[in-house]
Chain A
Amino acid sequence: MSRRDRLSGNEAVAYAMKQIDPDVFAAFPITPSTEIPQYFAQYVANGQVNTEYVTVESEHSSMSTCIGAEAAGARAVTATSSAGLAYMYEMLYVAATSRLPITLACVNRTLTGPININNDHSDAMGARDSGWIQIYAENNQEAYDNYLQAMRIAETPDVRLPIMICQDGFITSHAVENILLEDDAAVKAFVGEYRPEAALIGRESPLAVGPYDTCPYCMEHKVMEAEAMKNAKRAILDVAADFERTFGRKYGFFEEYRMEDAEVALVLIGSTAGTAKACVEDLRAKGIKAGLIKLRVFRPFPMEEIARALAHVKACAVMDKCEGNSACGGPLFAEVRSACYDLPDRPKLINVVYGLAGRDCPVTDIERVYRHLMRILETGETGPLYIHMGQRTAEEEVL
């Protein structure tokens, strides 16, 4: 039986953690994820969870602790942002190659520097090749719901990959929303128990983890990991289907908003979707066939599905809330563009890099993008492919 309550994104994730009662929690504070270890510590202090809480001295150690715990057969969780994620970068790869389904709550904050505590996606995007499953939330409800699905996805036997559940720092993590919370018993039943086939402790046989892989062996292990990421696509949809059956809310790789007959569309990730949906409604009221794809799952990347969703669109702006420093666009743009490559009638595709380090993106800015796409349709000219939006500049702006 769901109930409504007012929680911030951080509170919602901490609450989901409490309901799941993970075995080991190891995290180091960093804004804006700090509240998660704090809320969870209070649950521990009040005896509301049975979790072993390890107050590590750095993020590198928090991921190392999670790796040791998960290999020992325990469910290990952590939370971080920005430089904290960057500090554990080495260990993110180890968690994935050791095939340990650790869950990390990433409260997205821009990577230093100059140092800034506000939201963009550069932290998680920087880890996009690490082998972690990456799922993003638009709002507090999604942050909570994604967290509930995380472990079942990650722990699927032919997946066994770690997973990060992302939400926008401050915008989602600190803003309070009315959301639906599920009851403890239902959550426990949905998430189930963690029982890996092998573990360092508590089994008949010993387990050895983390070999030195000479050249004749290493590539095969990496290929196995790549196959697991492919399997994750199926696992994500399976778990989402069960989530819908159990709790009534539907999830997939992405949300298609007013896309059925859209001629112009945006593809984006995270909280900006809320702003963009408001804009889409305004434009639709004016007769403009505008649509929006809000990507939920970035890793594994749903290449075929995105291509199918964009196949009928005439002009599309891929919005990157992080800088890729590629000199030709951000990471989401590169991957969406690649997805569209084989379409017989590709949409005209541009990249708008926006919202860096928490730069506000109001509805009026989103409208500028759609109007630009309309101009592209009218003139038949794509124009510049890689555009920044939201910064002060002395140049004349494209949008």
Chain B
Amino acid sequence: MPYNHKEELSKPERFVGGHRLCAGCGAGIVARAMTRALDEGDKAVICNATGCVEVSTFTYPYTSWEDSYIHSAFENAAATCGGVEAAFNVLKRKGKMDGANYKFLVLGGDGGTYDIGFQSLSGAMERGHDMTYFCYDNEAYMNTGIQRSGSTPRFANATTTPVGSASTGKKQNKKDLTAIMVAHGIPYAAQTTFIGNFKDLHEKAHRAIYTPGPAFVNVMAPCPRGWQYSAEMLPEICRLAVETCVWPLYEVIEGRWYLNYMPKKKLPVEEFLKTQGRFRHMFKPGNEWTIEEAQKYVDTKWEDLLEKCGRDSLTAIR
């Protein structure tokens, strides 16, 4: 079914206002898009890792979620979800369910997904639970004050990899978690963000949710505080992330890689970097090499991706 933007947005809202996320928070946009991708009439259980979303969207006695929700700890959202899904399977078998179609969604930040949550995510994906894991990737441990994570890009200024006279920020490149998830052999994995009318994100979220078995969707979710930009710049930053190929949009279906967007003109990585204070130091005279390194890295990863997707075939999202 083709994406009908207006119809989708007319559905009842499943993530309500009144939460305590920062003004302009990318994670809030993920929460809405994720729940909007559910078919009307289907029910969900949101399993959430400790982090920005958890402390802000279920602050006793206020929950922003119209669906059932469970938070248990930081590193185990996937394992907790596995338990809910297992319960559903057995209670259905025993005739104790109400006949509604349930979907099991996990939502974690990059901290609870790439790092401390990695083990339980890997285990759940390997076991093949019918669940969908959404990562709102804001590229650092934002809730505790912008400490670096495995997802933080190289050279980013973070509070545990601060810029100083002896340091240009984070030393390592960003962990490629989407590829690691693909290596688990799951039926569906995708990378996406907030572009245009949200067709890319919506269709991927919907596909992930309704593919039987485990699915993983990695959503780049800019953070105005941690990335140091004025909140209204979020859509522009997402656009630049995609146009510079810093954050390519792709999906992997049954192990086959599909590129969803090829920039007509690949912009230099500076265009993305210059919008955010966390990269400000890279533009200091004497630090040109950091921008060169960053460009080299983007180019290498982009070439890799084109190889995986098959250079000649560019398949727009179905």
Chain A residues with a Cβ under 8 A of chain B:
23-24, 26, 50-52, 54-58, 60-61, 64-74, 76, 90-91, 94, 98, 200-203, 206-214, 217
10 tightest A-B CB contacts, nearest first:
A68-B83, A57-B123, A74-B87, A72-B87, A210-B71, A65-B83, A61-B79, A64-B79, A64-B76, A211-B60
Q: Which residues of B contact A217 (CB under 8 A)?
A: 60-61
Q: Which of B58, B79, B87, B98 contacts A23 (CB 8 A)?
A: B87
For residue B106, give the distance in angstroms from its CB to the closest CB of chain A: 10
Is B67 among interface residues, defined by CB-CB distance under 8 A?
yes
Q: Is B290 an interface residue (CB 8 A)?
A: no
**Pairwise interchain contact A61-B120, C-beta atoms closer than 8 A:** yes
- Chain A residues lying within 8 Å of B91, measured Cβ to Cβ, are 23, 72-74, 201-202
Q: What residues on B are CB-neighbors of A65 within 8 Å?
A: 79-80, 82-83, 86
Please give, as numbers and ranges, the residues of chain A lying within 8 Å of B100 by CB-CB distance.
202
B residues 257-279 in Cβ contact with A at 8 Å: none
Chain A residues with Cβ under 8 A from B76's Cβ?
60-61, 64, 91
B56: A residues at CB distance < 8 A: 212
Partner of B43, one of A52, A64, A201: A201
Q: Which residues of A contact B43 (CB under 8 A)?
A: 201, 206
Q: What is the CA–CA distance of A212 and B57 in the complex, to the nearest angstrom?
A: 9
Given A57-B119, A61-B120, do A23 and B72 touch, yes or no (CB 8 Å)? Answer: no
B interface, how many residues as a size bin?
A: 35 or more
Indicate if the CB atoms of B97 and A50 lie closer than 8 Å.
Answer: no
Q: Which residues of B contact A206 (CB under 8 A)?
A: 43, 65-69
Contact with A along B87-107 (1 / 0, CB 8 A): 111110110111010100000
Determine whether the beta carbon of B97 is less than 8 Å from that of A202. yes
Contact of B83 among A24, A57, A98, A212 (CB under 8 A): A24
Answer whether residue B63 sits at the interface, using C-beta atoms and an 8 A cutoff: yes
Q: Is B127 an interface residue (CB 8 A)?
A: yes
Q: Answer whether residue B122 sits at the interface, using C-beta atoms and an 8 A cutoff.
A: yes
| Cross-chain contact of B127 among A23, A24, A54, A211 (Cβ < 8 A) | A54
Bound complex: CA of A212 vs CA of B98, how far in Å? 30
The docked-state distance in angstroms from the alpha carbon of A52 to that of B83 is: 9
Out of A51, A71, A209, A214, name the residue touching B90 (CB < 8 Å): A51
Q: Can you list 6 A-B contacts (CB < 8 A)? A: A24-B90, A201-B43, A209-B70, A211-B59, A212-B55, A214-B59
Q: Does B73 make an interface contact (CB < 8 A)?
A: yes
Contact present for A71 and B119 (CB under 8 Å):
no
| Inter-chain pairs besides A54-B86, A214-B60, 19 sampled, C-beta below 8 Å | A23-B91, A24-B86, A26-B86, A60-B76, A61-B76, A61-B119, A68-B72, A69-B86, A70-B83, A71-B84, A74-B87, A200-B68, A201-B87, A201-B91, A208-B65, A209-B70, A210-B71, A212-B60, A213-B60
